[in-house]
Amino acid sequence: MYNSNMEFKKRRFIEICNNNFGIGSIHIELNVNCMALIPSIEDMHYEVEKFIRKIKVHYSDFMYIATITKLGAGNFRCNMLCNPDISENDLNLWNNGNAHKDKINSFDVLDEFIEVLVSGMQSNSYMRSKNLRIIKEMY
């Protein structure tokens, strides 16, 4: 049951990405420098939500979908696909470690990045903005 439910969530996640993001979208990676700063996935969710609220002050139409992955050393990483492009200064709003962004410049790069997002996906480790387009009849 868990595997089939997770496979459904992954298919839905990919569909949402393909319906809302494309060439020109931005990949943001948020890393945590020290495990003591953010000890649990719930704390990481909270910190990412704080970052997103700060970004939305500058970009009211900010759309995103993100996954949170626990790394081998116990630290967390958030990979996010978003629109519109945000400034380098806005990346500095992430106070818990390093932040990096790349512009998606081809559909091949987009597909590869969506695979990175899906591979890091766990049942409680992803989030999305409410303003994404979702095809209701499929779900």
Q: What are the pLDDT digits (tens) for 27-86?
A: 999 999 876 678 888 899 999 999 999 999 999 889 999 999 888 777 889 999 999 889
Task: Kindly state the average pLDDT of the residues 3-12.
Answer: 79
Residues 47 and 96 sit within 8 Å (Cβ to Cβ): yes
pLDDT at 139 over 60: no
**What is 24-130's CATH number, 3.90.800.10, 1.10.1060.10, 3.30.70.1910, 3.30.1490.100?**
3.30.70.1910
* Structural tokens at position 85: 């492009």
pLDDT above 70: percentage of residues in the chain: 91
CB burial of 12-23 (b: ≥16 within 10 Å; e: otherwise) equals ebbebbeebbee
Token look-up 């900010």 returns 62
Task: Kindly state the average pLDDT of the residues 81-103.
Answer: 92
